[in-house]
Structure 1
Amino acid sequence: MLLDMAADAFGERTAVVCGGRSLTYAEVRQKAQRAAVKLRESGVEYLALLDVNGPVLPVAIFAAGYAGIPYVPLNYRLTREEINALLERIAPALLVVGDEFRAQVDKRDELLMISSDEFVNAPAAAFEEEFVDPESVAVQLFTSGTTGKPKAALLRHENLVSYIVGTVEFGAAAEEDAVLVTVPPYHIAGISAVLSSTYACRRMVQLENFEATAWLKAAQDEMVTNAFVVPTMLGRIIESMENSRETVELPRLKALAYGGGKMPRATIERAMQLMPQVDFTNAYGLTETSSTVAVLTPDDHRLAMASDDEAVRKRIASVGKATGAVEIEIRDEQGQTVAAQQPGMIFVRGGQVSGEYKEQGSTLSEDGWFCTKDLGYLDDDGYLFLEGREDDVIVRGGENISPGEIEDVMISHPAVADVACVAIADEQWGEAVAAAVVLQPGASASVEELQALVRERLRSSRVPQRIEFRDELPYNELGKVLRRVIRQDFASLVEAA
């Protein structure tokens, strides 16, 4: 529906630009419908994507929608073993894969593979519109959990459409407007960028991978008006602007949204000083809520920066107020709603909220509330402040990292008897990995040796920034490691330093 409306009203308007390639909205629809015919003929039950940003992204999203099967973008930064484990869970599927990632995929029954270029350029075929149930699954996103095994979060058509029509005005973008998309396609922000831009009929300028100078060049060359970044990206953009020998000007940039992690107060303040013409928006959301549920608006940013009242100025570190499409409550451990300024668990309710997993089913309460497992509080005026995550997932630069997967690697070292990984504050990434390690009696291992092991088996983002050796780890009476205590120990070490 979203693409049909855009193609009917603004078919000749450019929809996506990436690396010299471009498609209009009419072309995206044509290619998506041709690809949908291929999907129907293949008899698969899922359409998976393993590739970086590009024109294939909107074509794949809408092709799956036309075919009435779930779209499943995969994290191309995972290891070969992790990628193939996820593919096993979605058979039978058609995998659209970029050339650089094909070698990562094992051949298997019930898995058809096609290159991204071949998928985008599927041959002409007669497409017939078929009814797609609004309650059917539109997107399946694998999201990391504390156990290390990714959960399959389900978003239904009605969830996504509720979010888009509740937050975006159809055709609101001017013909010259352009949004710079750098978030990866396997992130909910990447999916919502395609859907919201399509409904607004805005040109999407895609970068395959983020790099600050390339981001600035694209923003200048493509006359970008809108963008979304995670805090780490914004920090690097600011550094690049400040270190450039030439003055960096972004005369057309008028709106920049950020989210996916905690934004350091100093970073957003520097950004607002460097780009006074830009409207900054902080967007807080989750995969299970179809993206944004709370927003700190541009006016909120300006009021906070200009105020002498610390209560108002403090809001620059908040994620704003609930959007008009959802309700937000803070509850204590007994499930009771708490008063303003009191911390607790964040609950969300609204049409866009799915809260559903393939294996687990719906986690919504009988009256529709979803527990985000994020901790925070509301101030007296309804501004939401985040205080961490109950489920212990480490959020590094907008990427969720499971402590379990790192612990499994470290415990494989013959000298390691026990290990627990937790999040520590990091100015650049928001959070980083720290590890408390207990060695086998009489054994030895260096910090560098353990870091090298994780780097070899996983990747650099998983490498503990800090490792401390302990005689034992704290456990409760049920045998569960007390990560909260470990986090406090690391925080104390930082303060002492």
Structure 2
Amino acid sequence: MNINMILEMAATDSDKAVVTVDERSLTAAQLLDLAHRAAHRFRDHPAVLYLGANHLGYPVALFGAALAGVPFVPLNYRLGDQQLTALQDRHAGAVILRPEHLDALVDVDVVQDEPAEVPSPQWDGDSVAVIIYTSGTTSDPKPAVLRHRHLLAYVLNTMEFASAADTDAALVAVPPYHIAGLTNLLSNLYTGRRVVYLAGFDPTVWLDTVRREGITHAMLVPTMLARVVAELGDADAESPTLQSLAYGGSRTPRPVLEHALRAFPDTGFVNAYGLTETASSVAVLSPEDHRAAFASSDPAVRDRLGSVGRPLPGIEIEVRTETGEPVAAGETGLVFVRGEQISGEYGGRSVLDADGWFATRDLGHLDADGYLFVEGRADDTIIRGGENIAPAEIEDVLLRHPAISEAAVIGIPDTEWGQRIVAVLVGDADPAEIRQWVKDRLRSSKTPDTVVFRDELPKTETGKLLRRTLVAELENSHA
């Protein structure tokens, strides 16, 4: 079993466009032909490194690598030269595809001399399909290994083949080195939904593309969603074709989500929780869950807007103590997941336990109905005066203040309390007013000791907060 099976199945409908970039499209049959020709170039190399943005050459390179039986490695092309060189050095002899090489992958005049069919290598589900370097927000990036069986398990367990309508189109704005960019391509090909790529993200361009291309499904990381609703202000999104809007990749502030639900009243929202190591989503908060929670007057039900939903088919989730014991419903602990799609492997080293469970390193809890609430990374927890405090709870309160557009809450060492709570904010307000705002809504022990304003917060290109960068900077200034 190989992910190329998905493309071969899609290619039976040869006249339908399956991927569009800058108003240029390929059918599945054309994509399969180009992938075979690319595989001829790739087959004598140990890997294929992709250093470009979203481009028609991206799926050609991915499936070409699969046909050649070598790993596909999408790298963050925005990294500095030194970092990129270090990553490239880990794959000596690999094909390196830079932006200037991508047009040639889809130029028939260039590739016509390559064989249209390449003998398939002997593979099985354990062959390495993709290596994605984790974002490295706390340390050097780690090579997360995804084998063909992991990616196929995700698609086959959660999608129905050829289930999409002929007019369905999915807009993908996340970069190709993000796990969502990869699995969006596979799942949409499998269901028969055309994929429309944006090479970069801009909220105005995104909204215009939704309307112009008749987009029915889209996925955004929280930072992108926040920029879209900020662009809209109090206006309706006016996107009648948009049936489903998925968001995930990091925590979405509750005020941003509620704004989005108002701006897209006829769109079904999906919160997807997963990691690179889990081959995409492992839990989903469905459109029905969103509608029920948003309309409910029951606080317990409405609070589910802050959850990531329930496990997908084939996935088990447990919340445990630090010593490994399962906790009761409602109690916070460490989140563990298990299932066929879970890799939990870095460069040939598995971190799964003896029973196949993967430690996500996220803190969270399950409610009585099995909804998972992710409270943040375990190592982000602030311990103040012996009390464990989740930054997310304070950040949500801060973001409800009309003068605050972004918020990060961190802990820095303190001789009296163990850690001080520091709120780093984007906006303009009196620090004393901000502290009182939090104190009025949370108890005193969760009120920031210090409020700092900045023009922007440090983030990765996919919008993840670089919390460790803030901690290091403020620890130094505090000292």
Q: TM-score range by the shorter chain?
A: 0.7 to 0.9
2:68–2:120: 8 Å Cα contact kept in structure 1? no
Offset at residue 177 of structure 1 (A):
0.5
1:83 aligns with 2:84: yes
SS at match of 1:45: coil
Change (3 A) 1:278 1:325: same
Report the Cα offset of residue 20 of structure 1: 2.4
User: Counterpart of 1:30?
Assistant: 33
Aligned to 1:407: none
Pair 145,231 (structure 1): closer, same or farther in 2 beyond 3 Å? closer
| Partners of 2:171 and 2:218 within 8 A in 1 | yes
What's the CA shift string for 1:3-53, capped at 9, x where partnerless?
000002x2211111111221111111110111011111xx21101100111
- When normalised by structure 2's length, the TM-score is 0.79
Distance in structure 2 (CA, Å) of the matches to 1:433 and 1:27: 49
* Aligned pair partner of 2:294 in 296, 305, 318: 305
Report what 1:94 is aligned to. 95
Conserved? CA contact 2:237–2:263, under 8 Å: no
Aligned residues of 1:296 and 1:319 also touching (Cα < 8 A)? yes
Aligned mate of 2:184, from 193, 200, 204: 193
Cα distance in structure 1, aligned partners of 2:470 and 2:357: 37
| TM-score (normalizing by structure 1) | 0.77
Q: Does 1:11 align with 2:36?
A: no
Query: Which residue of the partner structure matches residue 57 of structure 2?
Result: 56
C-alpha displacement at 1:377, in angstroms?
A: 0.5
Matches within 5 A, 1:297-446: 297-358=286-347, 361-392=349-380, 425=395, 427=399, 432=408
CA distance in 1, matches of 2:146, 2:24: 30
Q: 1:337 to 1:430 in 2, by over 3 A?
A: farther
After TM superposition, give the deviation of residue 134 of structure 1 in Å: 1.1
Distance in 2 (CA, whole Å) between partners of 1:82 and 1:429 is: 31
Distance change >3 Å, CA 74–CA 431, structure 1 → 2: farther
**Aligned counterparts of 2:367 and 2:413: Cα–Cα separation in 1:** 39
Instruction: Give the match for residue 219 of structure 2.
Output: 228
Equivalent positions of 1:63-142 (< 5 A) are 63-99=64-100, 115-121=101-107, 122-123=111-112, 124-127=114-117, 128-142=119-133
Amino acid at match of 1:16: V
SS at match of 1:35: helix
Alignment deviations for residues 229-284 of structure 1 (CA, whole Å, 9 cap, x no partner): 0111111111222277xx64111111111001111112111211221110100000
* Partner SS, residue 30 of structure 2: helix
Aligned partners of 2:102 and 2:412: how far apart in 1? 43
For 1:363, give the aligned amino acid: V
Q: Which of 181, 196, 209 is equivalent to 1:218?
A: 209
Amino acid at match of 2:153: S
Deviates more, 1:173-182 or 1:461-470: 461-470
Alignment-derived partner of residue 165 in structure 2? 174
**Structure 2 Cα separation of the partners of residues 19 and 146 of structure 1:** 32
Deviations 1:308-332 (A, max 9, x none): 1101110000000011120000010
Question: Which residue identity is paired with 2:22?
Answer: G
Unaligned runs of 5+ in 1: 100-114, 394-421, 439-446, 474-497
Query: Do the aligned partners of 2:48 and 2:95 also contact (CA within 8 Å) in 1?
Result: yes
- Which residue does 2:140 correspond to in 1? 149
Report how many residues are paired.
Answer: 410
Deviation at 1:144, TM superposition (A): 3.7
Structure 2 counterpart of 1:275, from 255, 264, 271: 264
Give the Å deviation of 1:288: 0.5
C-alpha distance in 2 between matches for 1:472 and 1:275 = 43
Look up the match of 2:250.
Answer: 261
**Partner SS for 1:204:** strand
Alpha-carbon separation, structure 1, partners of 2:192 and 2:476? 56
Structure 2 counterpart of 1:177, one-letter code? D
Alpha-carbon separation, structure 1, partners of 2:256 and 2:151: 31
Which secondary structure does the structure 1 equivalent of 2:190 belong to?
Answer: helix
Instruction: Please report how far the alpha carbon of residue 194 of structure 1 lies from its aligned counterpart in structure 2 after TM superposition.
Output: 0.7
**Does the 8 Å CA contact 2:69/2:120 hold for their aligned counterparts?**
no
RMSD, aligned α-carbons: 2.9
- Structure 2: 5+ residue runs without aligned partners? 382-390, 415-423, 425-453
How many Å apart are 1:131 and its aligned residue? 3.1
SS in 2 for 1:337: coil
Task: Tell me the residue number matched to 1:401.
Answer: none
The answer (yes or no) to whether the contact 2:154–2:279 under 8 Å persists in 1 is yes
CA 177–146 in structure 1, closer or farther in 2 if over 3 Å, else same: closer
Over 3 Å counting, the alpha-carbon distance change for 1:279 and 1:237 in structure 2 is same
The aligned counterpart of 1:203 is: 194
Is 1:291 paired with 2:280?
A: yes
Query: What amino acid does structure 2 have at the position aligned with 1:337?
Result: P
> Contact 2:161–2:191 at 8 Å: present in 1 too?
yes
Which letter maps to 1:4? E
- 2: CA distance, partners of 1:62 / 1:430: 39
1:125 partner amino acid:
P
Tell me, in whole angstroms, the C-alpha distance in 2 between the residues paired with 1:297 and 1:241. 24
Secondary structure, counterpart of 1:138 in structure 2 = strand
Contact 2:380–2:410 (CA<8 Å) still a contact in 1? no
Mapped partners of 1:208, 1:164: distance in 2: 24
- 1:404 alignment counterpart: none
**Separation of aligned partners in 1, 2:42 and 2:10:** 23
Which amino acid in 1 is paired with 2:105?
F
Cα distance, 1:92 vs structure 2: 1.7
Contact 1:264 1:430 in 2 (8 A): no
Cα distance between partner residues in 2 of 1:291 and 1:429 = 29
Counterparts of 1:347 and 1:429, CA distance in 2: 32
